[in-house]
Structure 1
Amino acid sequence: MHRPQLAVHPLMDISVVIPAHNEEKALPYTLQALTTQSSLPTEIIVVANACADRTAEIAERHGALTVVTERRGVANARNLGAKRAKGDVLLFLDADAIPAPDFIEALRRATEGRERFIASAPSRADHWRFLWTAALINLVMRVCRLSNSGVIACPASLFREIGGFPSVEMAEDYAFMRRAQLAGAKYLLLRSHFLWNTRRMRRFGAVRTLAKWLEVWLIPSRRALRYPPVR
């Protein structure tokens, strides 16, 4: 396994952890965006979980530290990646979430000097049909102080303190964020964005997908539901 030789910021080391299940099509764009940031992360870790495609090969080709596991699940993949990370800050990024060129720089600016925080970022849809959907989600995030499931950042020490992501099939990000806030973490919304892959919306429809999200956010007993697969 090869660790990427990326620039290290003198004030804060950031480890990017990417859970990836059969993401050979989307992953190259995300890795390219990370390796061309205005302020580079310390390392990029891709956790290829239960993949039947070339996800791991692509990750290694782009210089990412690649972890392979046969166990499927976003929570498990994120936790495995976090165990391998050496950064002071962990940025959990979905394999199809493409960060803006100033994303890492914005994360460093927002969190410099903070010891306890949970950070996320607004999204921009990759298709004009869902611009309104992204705007609605961003509004809900701001008002309700929620994280975007595709982008979550926190100190590595806080991650260890609250025990990582819970092993549930859906909404593990919501549970993680709430644990962090109960532990005293300040909610931060970055002044940058990422490009949101709307493939789930295109396949299942905006109304159905939004209804599922609202169900998860508003009804605690429904937070272990799972989405049907999109790959």
Structure 2
Amino acid sequence: MISVIIPAHNEAANLANLLPHIKGLKQYESTEIIVVLSKDTQDKSIQVCSRYGVHWYQSSVTGRAAQLNLGALHAKGKYLAFLHADVWPPSSFFTDIKETLEGTSEAGFFSYQFNKNSFLLNINSKFTKKDGIFTGGGDQCLFIRASVFKKLHGFDENQVIMEDFEFFRRMKQQKIRYTIIPNNLMVSARKYETNSYLKVNLSNLLLVVLFKIGYPAVKLKRLHSKLISTPYAARK
């Protein structure tokens, strides 16, 4: 079984579109969906989860790392896939995961494209097909053998931002074999619609560089809040 774990904060609208989409994918019958709501979720996400008959939990701790770990704790699957609520998987999503993890790879990611046709965003997308400075970001949907995730002790809940990059760093330190699947997820461009392309990319670069040199997570989150405007239902 593949367990799809979706952290969400006030994402009822996106979940209402994503959940039936996942259920319509090939090989869905051998999977489970677990939605983990943030501590402060106040919209109709619970009703949406109930409508589509998926497992849901609400975290008692603030932070996406805690949500991801809670989902993994309840997961029954041999394989785990961590998917953001505003990211749509391709039609062969489950097949790709199964074939990759039943091979020599212990983990993997997907390349992605944005849901807005833009020359500049298309350039960004091309970089997700290969290893690079931004590899391991949450939009690429980490999938991993549950036994390996447990061996790595899950996400660091003290990492209040960029928990995905911190986990990927430990993966590389432990020489976990991974593959990047060149089969695009569809990622929301809403951050770029609220902020300029240049502002988002410079902010991302700054945060990654500061993270890599050991800048404290709490200060990184504070800096991110100052640099990037997120009037939509920001995920936690």
For Structure 1 versus Structure 2, the TM-score category normalised by the shorter chain is 0.7 to 0.9
For structure 1, list consecutive stretches of 5 or more residues without a partner in the other structure: 1-12
Q: Give the one of 74, 86, 95 matched to 2:76.
A: 86
SS at structure 2 position matched to 1:121: strand
For 1:39 and 1:65, locate their aligned partners in 2 and report how far apart those are by CA, in whole Å: 18
Q: What amino acid does structure 2 have at the position aligned with 1:217?
A: V
For 1:187 and 1:207, locate their aligned partners in 2 and report how far apart those are by CA, in whole Å: 30
Task: Look up the match of 2:152.
Answer: 162
Q: Give the one of 21, 24, 41 matched to 1:33.
A: 21
For residues 74-123 of structure 1, what are the alpha-carbon distances to aligned partners after superposition, in whole Å with 9 as ceiling and x for unaligned? 11100000000011111000011111111111111222133x52311111
For residues 108-158 of structure 1, what are the alpha-carbon distances to aligned partners after superposition, in whole Å with 9 as ceiling and x for unaligned? 1222133x52311111111123x5324324415614271231211111111
For residues 49-74 of structure 1, what are the alpha-carbon distances to aligned partners after superposition, in whole Å with 9 as ceiling and x for unaligned? 12010112111211111111243321
Change in 2 beyond 3 A, CA 1:134/1:158: farther
Taking the TM superposition and a 5 Å limit, the aligned residue runs for 1:1-231 are 13-40=1-28, 41-49=30-38, 50-114=40-104, 117-129=106-118, 131-139=119-127, 142-144=130-132, 146-150=135-139, 151-167=141-157, 168-219=159-210, 220=212, 221-222=214-215, 224=217, 225-226=220-221, 227-228=224-225, 229=230, 230-231=232-233
Deviates more, 1:117-126 or 1:76-85: 117-126
Say whether the 8 Å CA contact 1:18–1:45 is kept in structure 2. yes
> Which structure: greater helix fraction?
2
Say whether the 8 Å CA contact 1:33–1:101 is kept in structure 2. no
Q: TM-score under structure 2 normalisation?
A: 0.85
Residue-pair matches, total: 217
Moved >6 Å (runs of 4+): none
For structure 2, list consecutive stretches of 5 or more residues without a partner in the other structure: none
SS at structure 2 position matched to 1:176: helix
Q: What amino acid does structure 2 have at the position aligned with 1:160?
A: K
For 1:91 and 1:134, locate their aligned partners in 2 and report how far apart those are by CA, in whole Å: 25
Q: TM-score under structure 1 normalisation?
A: 0.86
